Amino acid sequence: MTERLPAVARKPKIGLVAGGLGAYWPQFPDLLPQLRRSAARVTERMREFDAEVVDVGFISDAQEGAVAAEKLRAADCDLIVGFLTTYMTATMLVPIAQRSGAPVLLINLQPTEAMDHASFDTGAWLAYCGACPLPEMANAFERVGVPFRSVSGYLEDQRAWDRIGRWIRAAGVRSVLRHGRHGLMGHLYPGMYDVSTDLTMVTGNLGGHVEVLEFDDLRVRVQQVKDDEVAAKLAETREVFELADSVVEEDLAWAARVSVGLDRMVADFDLDSLAYYHRGLDGEIHEKLGAGMILGSSLLTARGVPAAGEYELRTSLAMLICDRFGAGGSFTELQALNFRDAVVEMGHDGPGHLAISERKPLLRGLGVYHGKRGWGVSVEFDVRHGPVTLVGLGQTRDGRYKIVASEGEVVGGPLLQIGNTTSRVDFGCDPGEWTDAWSASGVAHHWALATGRLLPELRALADLTGLELVEVAA
């Protein structure tokens, strides 16, 4: 059995093919060498991305296109990039698009910003003619039922390469979702209809696998944790967190023990994300395990394995999307509206994404978890100030998923000190109007709060996955 790389280390596999019309080569002997130099430069630039590049070379006719199509099909790529170096016919690329089983991006990058009209002959012009077949490809792709997308520019056009990079990153996130293993441990928080998840629909909409776990899978591993492992986890905790005076050493030690067991469980089941909840009763072991999850889940989230409470599988998936875009993604819900400062206050009790905290995160001891059984340590911080994007996965009546997103800005100001993550988000409008628009989008009552402006990346991801993207702005 081949060992599967964890999603945090998985690189997207990008297929690359360049081409032009072979009828030109005997007519203009200098053209093909020039186009091959351009293709070599594209290959060089492609390898600068954090991706595995499968370069099948240069094609000149439909027969060579069919050979390239078979090579790319066998390579099982996450994205195929076709470089239109000059005019070429749709018969050369349609088989690649149809047979690869991967989304196709066509790029038209001419040698420089503009031609030298005074000195150019026909052969020199043809090296700038990659735009010519683009409408042909779009029409042919539409007629054979293949989604079309393209980037046009010139070889050293950074704006074009930024757009290409966006497609590659989106392909990487799509790959993580298609191949990911997502843990679901415990049971649904009673009464939360919006959180309830049909596991088949995760695979149906995104791919991947949902591993159904018992809290006993965690219990047996926590029982095996050694004292020296607890000591190491406590040392890590004191390095990562500021500890409030309210932290009880016994509670902290238990959270550290659960964290070690959680690390082991995630490794044993090869998980890329985790959602969990257990109510428990009268202080029995499962209640204690559920109450001790916050520290370990926050540490896991910070190292790229998002963990969300309240059995929120779709939000742990949204957090995974944000994390793989390099934007973090912290478990979040609405907390209050501040009409005086025109901000929406949002966050959550339980785990948070420590890597995107504005300050050193705080561990606060709580004698009671509101709405949940148990007690212990909880995480408190606000997300890094500046542009942010809210990302949620909504589900429609027919079971289809949709991405729901809204951009805003986290600003400073007074925060609750109750062991919750809390951020003040300015959406540039009345907080009430934004809240109504966000709630009407079909998002559930949890989502991921990520750093940066992610709408361009999310548009690319929606295109590659076929998911609807709902952009909320009041």
323 lies in some domain = yes
Mean pLDDT on 229-246: 97
Are 89 and 127 within one domain?
yes
According to the model, what pLDDT value does residue 10 have? 74
Last residue of a domain, one of 131, 153, 177: 177
- Structural domain span for residue 421: 180-471
Question: Starting at the edge strand that comes first in sequence, how are the strands of the sheet with 104-110 ordered?
Answer: 52-59, 13-19, 79-84, 104-110, 150-154
Rg for the chain, CA atoms, rounded: 26
Mean pLDDT on 161-178: 96
Per-residue pLDDT of 180-206, as tens digits, reads 999 999 999 998 999 998 899 999 999
Are 163 and 252 within one domain?
no
According to the model, what pLDDT value does residue 2 have? 33
Are 127 and 161 within one domain?
yes
Are 86 and 197 within one domain?
no
According to the model, what pLDDT value does residue 21 have? 98
Angstrom distance (rounded) from CA 188 to CA 276 = 8
Indicate the pairing of strand 447-451 with strand 273-277: unpaired
1 lies in some domain = no
Per-residue pLDDT of 397-445, as tens digits, reads 999 999 999 999 999 999 989 888 999 999 999 999 999 999 999 999 9
The residue behind tokens 């239109």 is: 84
pLDDT over 70 at 178, yes or no: yes
Are 90 and 229 within one domain?
no
Last residue of a domain, one of 177, 210, 238: 177
pLDDT over 90 at 220, yes or no: yes
The enclosing domain of 406 has a CATH number of 3.20.14
Are 161 and 27 within one domain?
yes
Mean pLDDT over each residue of the chain, to the nearest integer: 94
Are 351 and 379 within one domain?
yes
pLDDT over 50 at 4, yes or no: no
Question: Starting at the edge strand that comes first in sequence, how are the strands of the sheet with 362-366 ordered?
Answer: 242-243, 362-366, 376-380
The answer to whether 388 and 408 have CB atoms below 8 angstroms apart is yes
According to the model, what pLDDT value does residue 340 have? 97
The answer to whether 390 and 447 have CB atoms below 8 angstroms apart is yes
Are 72 and 127 within one domain?
yes
Greater confidence (82 vs 1) lies with 82
Are 312 and 446 within one domain?
yes
Angstrom distance (rounded) from CA 298 to CA 293 = 8
pLDDT band, residue 372 (cuts 50/70/90): confident
Last residue of a domain, one of 130, 148, 177: 177
Are 19 and 112 within one domain?
yes
Per-residue pLDDT of 105-124, as tens digits, reads 999 999 999 999 999 999 99
Give the number of other CB atoms < 10 A from CB of residue 466.
12
186 lies in some domain = yes
- What is the DSSP track for 282-344? TT-HHHHHHHTHHHHHHHHHHTT--EESTT-HHHHHHHHHHHHTTSEEEEEEEEEEETTTTEE
pLDDT band, residue 8 (cuts 50/70/90): low
Helix (H, G, I), strand (E, B) or coil at 411: strand
The enclosing domain of 159 has a CATH number of 3.40.50.10940
According to the model, what pLDDT value does residue 374 have? 76
pLDDT over 50 at 266, yes or no: yes
Per-residue pLDDT of 381-398, as tens digits, reads 999 999 999 999 999 999
Q: Which residues contact 249 (CB under 8 A, 6 or more apart)?
A: none
Greater confidence (474 vs 49) lies with 49
pLDDT band, residue 139 (cuts 50/70/90): very high
According to the model, what pLDDT value does residue 366 have? 84
> How many domains, in total, are found in the chain?
2
Angstrom distance (rounded) from CA 367 to CA 318 = 30
Indicate the pairing of strand 79-84 with strand 468-471: unpaired
Angstrom distance (rounded) from CA 32 to CA 40 = 12
Share of the chain above pLDDT 90, in %: 91
According to the model, what pLDDT value does residue 474 have? 67
Please state the φ and ψ torsions of residue 98, each to the nearest 5 degrees: -75, -40
84 lies in some domain = yes
In Å, what is the CA distance from 462 to each residue of 158, 182, 306, 405?
23, 20, 21, 11
Are 268 and 417 within one domain?
yes
According to the model, what pLDDT value does residue 3 have? 38
2 lies in some domain = no
Mean pLDDT on 82-99: 96
According to the model, what pLDDT value does residue 5 have? 40
112-119 own/partner pairs: CB under 8 Å, 24+ apart: 112/154, 112/155, 112/156, 113/154, 113/157
Are 165 and 186 within one domain?
no
What is the token pair recorded at 160?
Answer: 């074009």
